[in-house]
Structure 1
Amino acid sequence: MIDIHCHILPNVDDGAKDMEMALEMAKAAVDEGIDTIIASPHHRNGQFENSKSSILESVDQLNNRLKEARIPLTILPGQETRIFGEMVDSYLDDELLSLNHLHQYLLVELSSSHVPRYIHRLFFDLQQQGVTPIIVHPERNAEIIENPEILYRLVKEGALTQVTAGSVTGHFGKKIQKFSIDLITHNLTHFVATDAHNLTSRPINLRKAYEFIEDECSAFYRYMFLENAEMIVAGRMPLVEPPEMIKRKKFLGIF
Protein backbone atom coordinates (compact mmCIF):
# COMPACT_ATOMS: atom_id res chain seq x y z
CA MET A 1 0.00 0.00 0.00
CA ILE A 2 0.94 3.63 -0.50
CA ASP A 3 0.22 6.40 2.00
CA ILE A 4 0.15 9.76 0.22
CA HIS A 5 0.01 11.98 3.33
CA CYS A 6 2.03 11.35 6.47
CA HIS A 7 4.03 13.46 8.94
CA ILE A 8 6.87 10.99 9.33
CA LEU A 9 9.83 13.31 8.75
CA PRO A 10 11.55 13.89 12.10
CA ASN A 11 11.69 17.25 13.84
CA VAL A 12 10.13 19.36 11.09
CA ASP A 13 6.54 19.91 12.29
CA ASP A 14 4.06 18.41 14.77
CA GLY A 15 4.71 14.91 13.44
CA ALA A 16 7.62 12.64 14.38
CA LYS A 17 9.56 14.46 17.09
CA ASP A 18 12.87 12.76 16.32
CA MET A 19 14.50 10.10 14.17
CA GLU A 20 13.69 7.37 16.68
CA MET A 21 9.97 8.12 16.43
CA ALA A 22 10.19 8.31 12.64
CA LEU A 23 11.72 4.83 12.54
CA GLU A 24 9.03 3.50 14.88
CA MET A 25 6.35 5.00 12.65
CA ALA A 26 8.05 3.37 9.68
CA LYS A 27 7.93 -0.03 11.39
CA ALA A 28 4.24 0.49 12.15
CA ALA A 29 3.62 1.38 8.52
CA VAL A 30 5.33 -1.78 7.30
CA ASP A 31 3.25 -3.81 9.76
CA GLU A 32 0.17 -2.23 8.15
CA GLY A 33 1.28 -3.40 4.72
CA ILE A 34 2.52 0.01 3.57
CA ASP A 35 5.65 0.01 1.41
CA THR A 36 5.70 3.66 0.30
CA ILE A 37 4.93 6.90 2.13
CA ILE A 38 4.79 10.42 0.77
CA ALA A 39 6.20 12.57 3.55
CA SER A 40 4.11 15.73 3.69
CA PRO A 41 5.17 18.17 6.42
CA HIS A 42 3.13 21.28 7.10
CA HIS A 43 4.08 24.41 5.21
CA ARG A 44 2.89 27.98 5.77
CA ASN A 45 0.19 27.00 8.25
CA GLY A 46 1.07 29.72 10.74
CA GLN A 47 3.33 27.43 12.77
CA PHE A 48 5.66 25.65 10.39
CA GLU A 49 7.66 26.58 7.31
CA ASN A 50 9.18 23.67 5.43
CA SER A 51 10.90 24.66 2.22
CA LYS A 52 11.17 22.39 -0.78
CA SER A 53 14.94 22.02 -0.42
CA SER A 54 14.77 21.19 3.29
CA ILE A 55 12.11 18.52 2.71
CA LEU A 56 14.13 16.87 -0.05
CA GLU A 57 17.14 16.77 2.26
CA SER A 58 15.11 15.32 5.14
CA VAL A 59 13.62 12.66 2.87
CA ASP A 60 17.10 11.57 1.77
CA GLN A 61 18.27 11.38 5.38
CA LEU A 62 15.29 9.29 6.47
CA ASN A 63 15.61 6.92 3.52
CA ASN A 64 19.27 6.37 4.41
CA ARG A 65 18.36 5.56 8.01
CA LEU A 66 15.63 3.18 6.86
CA LYS A 67 18.16 1.31 4.74
CA GLU A 68 20.58 1.12 7.66
CA ALA A 69 17.80 -0.22 9.90
CA ARG A 70 16.67 -2.64 7.17
CA ILE A 71 13.12 -1.34 7.27
CA PRO A 72 11.50 -2.04 3.86
CA LEU A 73 9.85 1.32 3.38
CA THR A 74 10.42 4.04 0.78
CA ILE A 75 9.83 7.70 1.60
CA LEU A 76 8.89 10.05 -1.23
CA PRO A 77 8.80 13.85 -0.98
CA GLY A 78 5.66 15.92 -0.56
CA GLN A 79 4.35 18.97 1.27
CA GLU A 80 1.06 19.91 2.92
CA THR A 81 0.67 23.59 2.14
CA ARG A 82 -1.98 25.77 3.78
CA ILE A 83 -3.90 27.60 1.08
CA PHE A 84 -2.80 31.19 0.42
CA GLY A 85 -3.48 33.64 -2.36
CA GLU A 86 0.02 33.62 -3.87
CA MET A 87 0.33 29.85 -4.25
CA VAL A 88 0.71 30.00 -8.01
CA ASP A 89 3.55 32.52 -7.77
CA SER A 90 5.26 30.39 -5.11
CA TYR A 91 4.91 27.32 -7.29
CA LEU A 92 6.36 29.12 -10.31
CA ASP A 93 9.21 30.36 -8.09
CA ASP A 94 9.96 26.69 -7.27
CA GLU A 95 9.08 27.11 -3.58
CA LEU A 96 6.32 24.49 -3.38
CA LEU A 97 6.93 20.76 -3.54
CA SER A 98 4.60 18.62 -5.60
CA LEU A 99 3.89 15.00 -4.71
CA ASN A 100 6.92 12.87 -5.50
CA HIS A 101 8.44 15.98 -7.08
CA LEU A 102 6.60 15.26 -10.34
CA HIS A 103 5.06 18.73 -10.81
CA GLN A 104 1.54 17.32 -11.15
CA TYR A 105 -0.20 17.25 -7.75
CA LEU A 106 -0.10 19.50 -4.68
CA LEU A 107 -1.56 18.74 -1.25
CA VAL A 108 -3.57 21.79 -0.21
CA GLU A 109 -4.81 22.28 3.34
CA LEU A 110 -7.77 24.49 4.21
CA SER A 111 -8.31 25.97 7.64
CA SER A 112 -10.68 23.98 9.82
CA SER A 113 -13.29 26.74 9.83
CA HIS A 114 -13.83 28.12 6.33
CA VAL A 115 -13.13 28.01 2.60
CA PRO A 116 -11.65 31.20 1.10
CA ARG A 117 -13.68 32.80 -1.66
CA TYR A 118 -10.64 33.00 -3.94
CA ILE A 119 -10.22 29.22 -4.00
CA HIS A 120 -11.95 28.73 -7.36
CA ARG A 121 -9.72 31.19 -9.19
CA LEU A 122 -6.62 29.89 -7.43
CA PHE A 123 -7.34 26.28 -8.33
CA PHE A 124 -8.11 27.27 -11.92
CA ASP A 125 -4.76 29.06 -12.15
CA LEU A 126 -2.92 26.06 -10.67
CA GLN A 127 -4.54 23.75 -13.19
CA GLN A 128 -3.52 26.13 -15.96
CA GLN A 129 0.06 25.40 -14.87
CA GLY A 130 -0.57 21.65 -15.14
CA VAL A 131 -0.93 21.16 -11.38
CA THR A 132 -3.95 19.48 -9.82
CA PRO A 133 -4.74 20.49 -6.22
CA ILE A 134 -5.62 17.73 -3.77
CA ILE A 135 -7.67 19.09 -0.87
CA VAL A 136 -6.65 17.23 2.28
CA HIS A 137 -9.18 16.21 4.95
CA PRO A 138 -12.16 18.25 3.63
CA GLU A 139 -14.37 16.18 5.93
CA ARG A 140 -13.04 18.21 8.87
CA ASN A 141 -13.73 21.66 7.41
CA ALA A 142 -16.69 23.30 9.16
CA GLU A 143 -17.92 25.21 6.10
CA ILE A 144 -17.83 22.12 3.89
CA ILE A 145 -19.64 20.11 6.56
CA GLU A 146 -22.33 22.79 6.67
CA ASN A 147 -22.53 23.11 2.90
CA PRO A 148 -21.18 20.09 0.98
CA GLU A 149 -22.08 21.80 -2.30
CA ILE A 150 -18.85 23.79 -1.91
CA LEU A 151 -16.80 20.62 -2.27
CA TYR A 152 -19.01 19.31 -5.06
CA ARG A 153 -18.33 22.45 -7.09
CA LEU A 154 -14.57 22.25 -6.49
CA VAL A 155 -14.46 18.61 -7.58
CA LYS A 156 -16.56 19.42 -10.65
CA GLU A 157 -13.98 22.09 -11.47
CA GLY A 158 -11.15 19.54 -11.38
CA ALA A 159 -9.87 19.44 -7.81
CA LEU A 160 -9.21 16.12 -6.10
CA THR A 161 -9.64 15.37 -2.41
CA GLN A 162 -8.22 13.06 0.25
CA VAL A 163 -10.00 11.90 3.40
CA THR A 164 -8.14 10.84 6.51
CA ALA A 165 -8.13 7.19 7.55
CA GLY A 166 -8.94 8.19 11.13
CA SER A 167 -12.02 10.05 9.95
CA VAL A 168 -13.25 6.90 8.23
CA THR A 169 -12.65 4.71 11.27
CA GLY A 170 -14.35 7.09 13.70
CA HIS A 171 -11.26 8.51 15.39
CA PHE A 172 -12.66 12.05 15.04
CA GLY A 173 -16.20 11.09 16.05
CA LYS A 174 -19.30 9.57 14.50
CA LYS A 175 -20.39 12.75 12.69
CA ILE A 176 -17.09 13.09 10.86
CA GLN A 177 -17.12 9.37 10.13
CA LYS A 178 -20.60 9.54 8.60
CA PHE A 179 -19.71 12.58 6.53
CA SER A 180 -16.55 10.85 5.30
CA ILE A 181 -18.59 7.89 4.11
CA ASP A 182 -20.98 10.28 2.35
CA LEU A 183 -18.04 11.89 0.56
CA ILE A 184 -16.86 8.46 -0.56
CA THR A 185 -20.22 7.20 -1.80
CA HIS A 186 -20.94 10.48 -3.61
CA ASN A 187 -17.57 10.37 -5.43
CA LEU A 188 -16.38 13.52 -3.70
CA THR A 189 -13.07 12.06 -2.58
CA HIS A 190 -10.36 10.16 -4.41
CA PHE A 191 -7.77 9.08 -1.84
CA VAL A 192 -7.50 7.81 1.71
CA ALA A 193 -4.33 8.58 3.66
CA THR A 194 -3.22 8.29 7.27
CA ASP A 195 -2.20 11.90 7.95
CA ALA A 196 -0.35 10.17 10.79
CA HIS A 197 1.62 12.32 13.23
CA ASN A 198 2.72 9.76 15.82
CA LEU A 199 2.01 6.29 17.20
CA THR A 200 -0.70 7.21 19.71
CA SER A 201 -3.13 10.09 19.13
CA ARG A 202 -2.67 10.23 15.33
CA PRO A 203 -1.45 6.74 14.38
CA ILE A 204 -1.02 4.87 11.12
CA ASN A 205 -4.30 3.02 10.54
CA LEU A 206 -4.72 2.69 6.79
CA ARG A 207 -5.58 -1.02 6.70
CA LYS A 208 -8.45 -0.59 9.16
CA ALA A 209 -9.83 2.30 7.09
CA TYR A 210 -9.76 0.27 3.88
CA GLU A 211 -11.48 -2.64 5.60
CA PHE A 212 -14.18 -0.31 6.91
CA ILE A 213 -14.68 1.21 3.45
CA GLU A 214 -15.09 -2.22 1.90
CA ASP A 215 -17.64 -3.23 4.56
CA GLU A 216 -19.64 0.02 4.63
CA CYS A 217 -19.35 1.17 1.01
CA SER A 218 -18.02 -1.47 -1.37
CA ALA A 219 -14.85 -3.19 -2.49
CA PHE A 220 -14.92 -0.93 -5.55
CA TYR A 221 -14.01 2.13 -3.48
CA ARG A 222 -11.31 0.30 -1.56
CA TYR A 223 -9.52 -0.82 -4.69
CA MET A 224 -10.07 2.50 -6.45
CA PHE A 225 -8.34 4.34 -3.60
CA LEU A 226 -5.51 1.81 -3.53
CA GLU A 227 -4.97 2.17 -7.26
CA ASN A 228 -5.30 5.95 -7.21
CA ALA A 229 -2.43 6.23 -4.73
CA GLU A 230 -0.27 4.17 -7.07
CA MET A 231 -1.30 6.29 -10.04
CA ILE A 232 -0.27 9.65 -8.63
CA VAL A 233 3.04 8.32 -7.34
CA ALA A 234 3.70 7.20 -10.92
CA GLY A 235 2.60 10.56 -12.30
CA ARG A 236 -0.56 9.23 -13.90
CA MET A 237 -4.19 10.32 -13.71
CA PRO A 238 -6.24 8.66 -10.97
CA LEU A 239 -9.67 7.20 -11.53
CA VAL A 240 -12.29 9.91 -11.00
CA GLU A 241 -15.96 8.98 -10.93
CA PRO A 242 -18.58 11.69 -11.66
CA PRO A 243 -19.27 13.56 -8.42
CA GLU A 244 -22.75 13.59 -6.95
CA MET A 245 -24.41 16.16 -4.72
CA ILE A 246 -25.02 15.24 -1.10
CA LYS A 247 -28.68 16.03 -0.64
CA ARG A 248 -28.98 18.57 2.12
CA LYS A 249 -32.03 16.96 3.71
CA LYS A 250 -30.21 13.66 4.03
CA PHE A 251 -27.07 15.38 5.25
CA LEU A 252 -28.79 17.41 7.96
CA GLY A 253 -30.28 14.23 9.30
CA ILE A 254 -26.80 13.19 10.43
CA PHE A 255 -26.37 16.00 12.90
Structure 2
Amino acid sequence: MVDLHSHILFQADDGPATFEESLMMLEQAMKQGITQLISTSHAHKGALNVSKEDVFDKLALLRHHIEQQNWDLKVFEGHEITISENTVEHVINHDVLTLANSQYALIELPSGHLPHYTLSTFHGLLEAGYTPIIAHPERQQNIIQDANVLEQFVRSGMLAQLTTGAILGKYGKRVEKAAFELLDRQLIHFIGTDAHDLERRHFDLERAISVLEKRGFADYAALLLENNEAVLRNQPVEVLEPEQPSKKRWWLRR
Protein backbone atom coordinates (compact mmCIF):
# COMPACT_ATOMS: atom_id res chain seq x y z
CA MET A 1 0.00 0.00 0.00
CA VAL A 2 0.97 3.64 -0.51
CA ASP A 3 0.78 6.23 2.26
CA LEU A 4 0.34 9.68 0.79
CA HIS A 5 0.96 11.78 3.91
CA SER A 6 3.58 11.27 6.63
CA HIS A 7 6.11 13.14 8.75
CA ILE A 8 9.06 10.76 9.04
CA LEU A 9 12.05 13.11 8.96
CA PHE A 10 13.96 13.40 12.22
CA GLN A 11 14.63 16.81 13.77
CA ALA A 12 12.59 18.46 11.06
CA ASP A 13 9.07 19.62 11.94
CA ASP A 14 6.81 18.12 14.62
CA GLY A 15 7.70 14.57 13.63
CA PRO A 16 10.29 12.21 15.14
CA ALA A 17 13.03 13.70 17.29
CA THR A 18 15.83 11.30 16.34
CA PHE A 19 17.12 9.29 13.40
CA GLU A 20 16.45 6.11 15.38
CA GLU A 21 12.81 7.09 15.90
CA SER A 22 12.47 7.72 12.16
CA LEU A 23 13.71 4.20 11.48
CA MET A 24 11.31 2.69 14.01
CA MET A 25 8.47 4.58 12.32
CA LEU A 26 9.47 3.09 8.98
CA GLU A 27 9.46 -0.39 10.50
CA GLN A 28 6.01 0.31 11.88
CA ALA A 29 4.85 1.43 8.44
CA MET A 30 5.99 -1.83 6.87
CA LYS A 31 4.13 -3.82 9.54
CA GLN A 32 0.99 -1.94 8.43
CA GLY A 33 1.44 -3.19 4.88
CA ILE A 34 2.93 0.04 3.53
CA THR A 35 5.52 -0.50 0.79
CA GLN A 36 5.70 3.07 -0.50
CA LEU A 37 5.22 6.35 1.31
CA ILE A 38 5.65 10.05 0.71
CA SER A 39 7.46 12.13 3.30
CA THR A 40 5.45 15.34 3.60
CA SER A 41 7.22 17.63 6.04
CA HIS A 42 5.64 21.01 6.68
CA ALA A 43 6.45 23.88 4.32
CA HIS A 44 5.83 27.53 5.20
CA LYS A 45 4.39 26.75 8.62
CA GLY A 46 6.37 29.14 10.80
CA ALA A 47 8.90 27.41 13.04
CA LEU A 48 7.89 24.02 11.64
CA ASN A 49 9.05 24.91 8.11
CA VAL A 50 11.36 22.34 6.52
CA SER A 51 13.34 23.42 3.46
CA LYS A 52 13.46 21.16 0.42
CA GLU A 53 17.24 20.90 0.88
CA ASP A 54 16.70 19.54 4.38
CA VAL A 55 14.11 17.11 3.02
CA PHE A 56 16.53 15.68 0.46
CA ASP A 57 19.45 15.51 2.92
CA LYS A 58 17.51 13.60 5.57
CA LEU A 59 15.70 11.38 3.10
CA ALA A 60 19.09 10.37 1.70
CA LEU A 61 20.12 9.07 5.13
CA LEU A 62 16.89 7.12 5.52
CA ARG A 63 17.10 5.70 2.01
CA HIS A 64 20.68 4.56 2.64
CA HIS A 65 19.57 2.64 5.73
CA ILE A 66 16.59 1.15 3.88
CA GLU A 67 18.92 -0.09 1.15
CA GLN A 68 21.41 -1.48 3.66
CA GLN A 69 18.68 -3.40 5.48
CA ASN A 70 17.09 -4.53 2.20
CA TRP A 71 13.69 -3.34 3.39
CA ASP A 72 10.72 -3.60 1.04
CA LEU A 73 10.00 0.11 1.31
CA LYS A 74 10.40 3.14 -0.92
CA VAL A 75 10.20 6.70 0.36
CA PHE A 76 9.48 9.72 -1.81
CA GLU A 77 9.87 13.43 -1.23
CA GLY A 78 7.10 15.94 -0.75
CA HIS A 79 5.77 18.79 1.36
CA GLU A 80 2.57 19.53 3.22
CA ILE A 81 2.27 23.14 2.10
CA THR A 82 0.52 25.56 4.44
CA ILE A 83 -1.69 27.75 2.28
CA SER A 84 -0.72 31.41 1.96
CA GLU A 85 -1.14 34.23 -0.50
CA ASN A 86 2.22 33.16 -2.00
CA THR A 87 1.52 29.44 -2.36
CA VAL A 88 1.09 29.51 -6.13
CA GLU A 89 4.38 31.36 -6.55
CA HIS A 90 6.18 28.93 -4.21
CA VAL A 91 4.94 25.90 -6.16
CA ILE A 92 5.64 27.36 -9.61
CA ASN A 93 9.16 28.40 -8.58
CA HIS A 94 9.81 24.96 -7.03
CA ASP A 95 10.51 26.50 -3.63
CA VAL A 96 8.38 23.69 -2.22
CA LEU A 97 7.95 20.05 -3.18
CA THR A 98 4.94 18.47 -4.81
CA LEU A 99 4.12 14.85 -4.01
CA ALA A 100 6.85 12.61 -5.44
CA ASN A 101 7.66 15.25 -8.07
CA SER A 102 4.16 14.94 -9.53
CA GLN A 103 1.52 17.47 -10.56
CA TYR A 104 -0.19 16.92 -7.19
CA ALA A 105 0.44 19.39 -4.36
CA LEU A 106 -0.63 18.64 -0.78
CA ILE A 107 -2.13 21.80 0.72
CA GLU A 108 -2.92 22.33 4.40
CA LEU A 109 -5.73 24.70 5.32
CA PRO A 110 -5.97 26.39 8.73
CA SER A 111 -8.13 24.45 11.16
CA GLY A 112 -10.16 27.60 11.85
CA HIS A 113 -11.79 29.88 9.32
CA LEU A 114 -10.71 29.68 5.70
CA PRO A 115 -8.62 32.63 4.46
CA HIS A 116 -10.16 34.85 1.78
CA TYR A 117 -7.57 33.74 -0.78
CA THR A 118 -8.30 30.00 -0.50
CA LEU A 119 -10.30 29.58 -3.69
CA SER A 120 -8.11 31.93 -5.74
CA THR A 121 -5.02 30.01 -4.61
CA PHE A 122 -6.55 26.71 -5.66
CA HIS A 123 -7.55 28.14 -9.03
CA GLY A 124 -4.05 29.58 -9.49
CA LEU A 125 -2.51 26.15 -8.92
CA LEU A 126 -4.91 24.54 -11.37
CA GLU A 127 -4.14 27.16 -14.01
CA ALA A 128 -0.42 26.49 -13.51
CA GLY A 129 -0.94 22.77 -14.15
CA TYR A 130 -0.97 21.53 -10.56
CA THR A 131 -3.76 19.68 -8.77
CA PRO A 132 -4.30 20.74 -5.15
CA ILE A 133 -4.98 17.97 -2.65
CA ILE A 134 -6.55 19.31 0.52
CA ALA A 135 -4.97 17.61 3.55
CA HIS A 136 -7.32 16.29 6.26
CA PRO A 137 -10.42 18.36 5.38
CA GLU A 138 -12.35 16.51 8.09
CA ARG A 139 -10.42 18.58 10.68
CA GLN A 140 -11.20 21.97 9.11
CA GLN A 141 -13.93 23.82 11.01
CA ASN A 142 -15.78 25.31 8.04
CA ILE A 143 -15.96 21.89 6.40
CA ILE A 144 -16.98 20.16 9.64
CA GLN A 145 -19.88 22.60 9.93
CA ASP A 146 -20.88 22.35 6.27
CA ALA A 147 -19.63 19.64 3.90
CA ASN A 148 -20.89 21.75 1.01
CA VAL A 149 -17.76 23.87 1.47
CA LEU A 150 -15.62 20.91 0.42
CA GLU A 151 -18.08 19.99 -2.32
CA GLN A 152 -17.59 23.44 -3.84
CA PHE A 153 -13.83 22.89 -3.89
CA VAL A 154 -14.17 19.41 -5.39
CA ARG A 155 -16.53 20.58 -8.11
CA SER A 156 -13.98 23.29 -8.92
CA GLY A 157 -11.24 20.69 -9.49
CA MET A 158 -9.67 20.23 -6.08
CA LEU A 159 -9.16 16.84 -4.43
CA ALA A 160 -9.12 15.76 -0.78
CA GLN A 161 -7.12 13.41 1.45
CA LEU A 162 -8.67 11.82 4.53
CA THR A 163 -6.60 10.96 7.61
CA THR A 164 -6.71 7.44 9.00
CA GLY A 165 -6.82 8.72 12.58
CA ALA A 166 -10.12 10.47 11.90
CA ILE A 167 -11.68 7.17 10.79
CA LEU A 168 -10.39 5.54 13.98
CA GLY A 169 -11.78 8.24 16.26
CA LYS A 170 -8.43 9.65 17.36
CA TYR A 171 -9.56 13.25 16.89
CA GLY A 172 -12.89 12.89 18.66
CA LYS A 173 -16.45 12.09 17.66
CA ARG A 174 -17.04 15.34 15.79
CA VAL A 175 -14.12 14.79 13.43
CA GLU A 176 -14.96 11.10 13.05
CA LYS A 177 -18.53 11.99 12.08
CA ALA A 178 -17.26 14.56 9.59
CA ALA A 179 -14.87 12.01 8.08
CA PHE A 180 -17.64 9.50 7.40
CA GLU A 181 -19.98 12.17 6.08
CA LEU A 182 -17.33 13.24 3.55
CA LEU A 183 -16.89 9.61 2.54
CA ASP A 184 -20.64 9.14 2.27
CA ARG A 185 -20.83 12.16 -0.01
CA GLN A 186 -17.92 10.89 -2.13
CA LEU A 187 -15.82 13.97 -1.47
CA ILE A 188 -12.63 12.07 -0.55
CA HIS A 189 -10.06 10.88 -3.08
CA PHE A 190 -7.00 9.76 -1.08
CA ILE A 191 -6.12 8.36 2.32
CA GLY A 192 -3.02 9.02 4.43
CA THR A 193 -1.86 8.43 7.98
CA ASP A 194 -0.33 11.85 8.70
CA ALA A 195 2.00 9.83 10.92
CA HIS A 196 4.20 11.90 13.24
CA ASP A 197 5.39 9.45 15.89
CA LEU A 198 5.22 5.89 17.19
CA GLU A 199 2.23 6.13 19.51
CA ARG A 200 -0.34 8.92 19.29
CA ARG A 201 -0.16 9.73 15.57
CA HIS A 202 1.38 6.61 14.11
CA PHE A 203 1.13 4.50 10.96
CA ASP A 204 -2.27 2.80 11.09
CA LEU A 205 -3.27 2.47 7.44
CA GLU A 206 -4.08 -1.24 7.49
CA ARG A 207 -6.26 -0.82 10.57
CA ALA A 208 -8.15 2.12 9.03
CA ILE A 209 -8.79 0.22 5.80
CA SER A 210 -10.17 -2.67 7.86
CA VAL A 211 -12.59 -0.29 9.62
CA LEU A 212 -13.74 1.14 6.29
CA GLU A 213 -14.37 -2.35 4.95
CA LYS A 214 -16.38 -3.34 8.02
CA ARG A 215 -18.50 -0.19 7.79
CA GLY A 216 -19.51 -0.66 4.18
CA PHE A 217 -16.81 1.28 2.35
CA ALA A 218 -14.73 -1.62 0.98
CA ASP A 219 -14.94 -0.53 -2.66
CA TYR A 220 -14.29 3.09 -1.74
CA ALA A 221 -11.26 2.10 0.34
CA ALA A 222 -9.84 0.22 -2.64
CA LEU A 223 -10.38 3.27 -4.84
CA LEU A 224 -8.55 5.51 -2.36
CA LEU A 225 -5.56 3.19 -2.33
CA GLU A 226 -5.55 3.04 -6.13
CA ASN A 227 -5.59 6.83 -6.28
CA ASN A 228 -2.66 6.95 -3.85
CA GLU A 229 -0.69 4.78 -6.27
CA ALA A 230 -1.70 6.96 -9.23
CA VAL A 231 -0.08 9.97 -7.57
CA LEU A 232 3.28 8.17 -7.51
CA ARG A 233 2.90 7.52 -11.23
CA ASN A 234 1.76 11.11 -11.81
CA GLN A 235 -1.37 9.80 -13.47
CA PRO A 236 -5.00 10.96 -13.34
CA VAL A 237 -7.07 9.65 -10.44
CA GLU A 238 -10.65 8.45 -10.29
CA VAL A 239 -13.01 11.13 -8.99
CA LEU A 240 -16.50 10.07 -8.01
CA GLU A 241 -19.49 12.33 -8.53
CA PRO A 242 -20.32 14.06 -5.22
CA GLU A 243 -23.56 12.92 -3.66
CA GLN A 244 -26.00 14.22 -1.08
CA PRO A 245 -25.76 12.57 2.36
CA SER A 246 -27.55 9.30 3.00
CA LYS A 247 -30.80 9.89 4.85
CA LYS A 248 -30.35 6.95 7.22
CA ARG A 249 -26.64 7.59 7.79
CA TRP A 250 -26.09 3.92 8.56
CA TRP A 251 -22.33 4.49 8.52
CA LEU A 252 -22.53 6.24 11.90
CA ARG A 253 -23.35 2.92 13.56
CA ARG A 254 -20.40 0.89 14.74
CA contact (8 A) 1:185 1:217 kept: no
Question: Where does residue 201 of structure 1 map in the other structure?
Answer: 200
SS at match of 1:151: helix
Match of 1:168 in 2: 167
Task: Provide the rounded CA distance (Å) in 1 between the counterparts of 2:216 and 2:134.
Answer: 21
The answer as to 2:183 corresponding to 1:184 is yes
Secondary structure of the 2:81 match is: strand
Gaps of 5+ in 1: none
For 1:57, the aligned partner's letter is D
1:150 counterpart = 2:153:
no
What is the match of residue 74 of structure 1?
A: 74
Q: Does 1:210 align with 2:226?
A: no
For 2:60 and 2:113, the matched residues in 1 are separated by 35
Off by >6 Å, runs of 4+ in structure 1 = none
Q: What secondary structure sits across from 1:42 in the alignment?
A: strand
Q: Deviations over 1:70-126 (max 9, x none)?
A: 332111001001100111111222201010012x01110011112112111111110
Q: Deviations over 1:30-62 (max 9, x none)?
A: 111100110000111122221223212222221
Q: Is the 8 A contact 1:7 1:196 kept in 2?
A: yes
In structure 1, C-alpha distance between the alignment counterparts of 2:152 and 2:117, rounded to whole Å:
13
Contact 1:148 1:246 in 2 (8 A): no
What residue ranges of structure 2 are gaps of 5+ in the alignment? none
TM-score between the two structures when normalised by the length of structure 1: 0.93
**Deviation (angstroms), 1:180:** 0.5
Q: Secondary structure at the match of 1:60?
A: helix
**Which amino acid in structure 1 is aligned with residue 158 of structure 2?**
A
SS of equivalent residue, structure 1 residue 47: helix
Distance in 1 between residues matched to 2:167 and 2:115, nearest whole Å = 25
Task: Give the distance between the partners of 2:245 and 2:144, measured in 1 at CA.
Answer: 11
- Partner of 1:47 in structure 2? 47
- Which stretch has the larger CA shift, 110-119 or 162-171? 110-119
Moved more, 65-74 or 231-240: 65-74
Partner Cα separation in structure 2 for residue 217 and residue 152 of structure 1: 22
Across the aligned residues of Structure 1 and Structure 2, the Cα RMSD in angstroms comes to 1.9
Residue 240 of structure 2 corresponds to which residue in structure 1? Answer: 241
Aligned pairs, how many? 251
**2-side partners of 1:190 and 1:213: how far apart?**
14
Deviates more, 1:68-77 or 1:148-157: 68-77
